[in-house]
């Protein structure tokens, strides 16, 4: 069923695979129903480039990704790890909301949870953390409700118990939430191996995420992450600056969607210093917040991780129809 990236004539085997025919249909329907969902809310599709000088996950405190630098016609730039900053920018044209689904590029090695190139569903709205959490829940419930009714989905032979768990999740009024500090306290007693210290910061690893997912029957928001563990553009929790107005949605293999309220003009300058990130490539972003202030929030969902949750196949290297790996030459 699954064809590895190093297989000879992978492209031919993919065309003969029912699994990848179904993956193609899932990708297509995710885009179709995403457009339908946002169109009903009068959101705009943001048509954006895939290169940027302002990467959203620079290598500073709280970053877990490597930017991909390229030379494009003699100019050094980056392939987009996310175009969230430009969503914030284009939101000023339509304050109902803006979104896109497009490739994102990361420099770290691929593994069962990470891809060098993946599809990203991102959105930005006017409002705060609770607003974006509500939108994310509506979005996942909406697109999932259509896909799990498709004949091709049922041909994947998803176990009945797992399928029923997905149906239960998409009918919840609200997904459960747990504050990061409470999650740490819980894991200290129930799953101490799920906690790690990285760069002096306490973090919850994949084992800890899986424990929380199981405890909350398949889905939970991990909210108010430590500010230094998230990218610099997230707003500080006004009640305690140790934490951010940010949250990760844990489903399937773990973190599948991340969201947050964006730092305002004064906070973003403080955050850049706290995260030890140079402001050189972010002057326009800082000035936008000064000259065109707007409280915004947004989320980014990894499409392959979402499909992994839908199908119960937790190695996302098995999902892309057209696969890319920084260490392997792959055709087509």
The domain locations on the chain are: 10-318
State pLDDT tens for residues 262-317. Answer: 999 999 999 999 998 889 889 999 999 999 999 999 999 999 999 999 999 999 99
CA triplet 162, 165, 170: central angle to 5 degrees? 130
Confidence of residue 59 (pLDDT cuts 50, 70, 90): low
Q: Is residue 160 scored above 80 in pLDDT?
A: yes
Q: What is the pLDDT of residue 55?
A: 87
Instruction: Please state, rounded to an integer, the average pLDDT across all residues of the chain.
Output: 94
Name residue, tokens 């691929």: 110
Is residue 302 within 8 Å of residue 64, measured between CB atoms? Answer: no
Q: What is the pLDDT of residue 224?
A: 98
State pLDDT tens for residues 81-117. Answer: 999 999 999 999 999 999 999 999 998 889 999 999 9
Closest by alpha carbon to 308, among 117, 98, 27, 6? 27
The radius of gyration of the chain's CA atoms, rounded to the nearest angstrom, is 20
DSSP string, 81-113: S--HHHHHHHHTT-TT-EEEEEEEE--SPP-SS
Q: Is residue 147 scored above 80 in pLDDT?
A: yes
Q: What is the pTM of this model?
A: 0.96
Please state at what angle helix 206-215 crosses helix 180-190, rounded to 10 degrees.
90
Tokens read off for 276? 């030890």
10-318: CATH topology is BirA Bifunctional Protein; domain 2 (3.30.930)
Is residue 257 within 8 Å of residue 299, measured between CB atoms? Answer: yes
Confidence of residue 10 (pLDDT cuts 50, 70, 90): confident
Q: Is residue 60 scored above 60 in pLDDT?
A: no
Q: How far apart are CA 147 and CA 152, in angstroms?
A: 9
């Amino acid at each position: 069923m699954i064809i590895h990236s190093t297989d000879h004539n992978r492209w031919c085997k993919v065309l003969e695979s029912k699994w990848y025919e179904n993956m193609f249909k899932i990708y297509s329907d995710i885009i179709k129903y995403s457009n339908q969902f946002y169109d009903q809310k009068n959101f705009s599709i943001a048509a954006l480039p895939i290169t940027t000088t302002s990467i959203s996950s620079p290598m500073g405190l709280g970053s877990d990704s490597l930017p991909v630098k390229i030379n494009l016609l003699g100019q050094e730039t980056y392939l987009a790890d996310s175009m969230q900053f430009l969503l914030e920018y284009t939101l000023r044209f339509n304050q109902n909301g803006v979104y896109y689904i497009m490739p994102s590029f990361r420099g770290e090695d691929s593994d069962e949870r990470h891809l060098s190139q993946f599809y990203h569903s991102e959105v930005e709205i006017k409002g705060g953390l609770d607003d974006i959490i509500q939108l994310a829940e509506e979005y996942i419930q909406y697109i999932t409700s259509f896909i799990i009714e498709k004949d091709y989905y049922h041909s994947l032979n998803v176990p009945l118990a797992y399928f029923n768990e997905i149906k239960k999740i998409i009918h919840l009024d609200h997904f459960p939430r747990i504050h990061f500090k409470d999650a740490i306290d819980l894991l200290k007693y129930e799953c101490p191996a799920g906690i790690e210290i990285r760069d002096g910061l306490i973090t919850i690893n994949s084992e800890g995420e899986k424990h929380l997912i199981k405890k909350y029957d398949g889905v939970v928001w991990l909210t108010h992450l430590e500010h230094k563990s998230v990218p610099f553009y997230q707003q500080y929790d006004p009640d305690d600056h140790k934490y951010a107005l940010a949250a990760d949605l844990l489903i399937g293999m773990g973190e599948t969607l991340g969201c947050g309220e964006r730092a305002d003009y004064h906070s973003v300058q403080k955050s850049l210093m706290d995260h030890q990130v140079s402001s050189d490539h972010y002057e326009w972003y800082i000035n936008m917040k000064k000259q065109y202030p707007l409280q915004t929030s947004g989320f980014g969902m990894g499409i392959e991780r979402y499909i992994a949750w839908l199908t119960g196949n937790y190695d996302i290297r098995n999902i892309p129809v057209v696969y890319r790996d920084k260490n392997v030459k792959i055709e087509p």
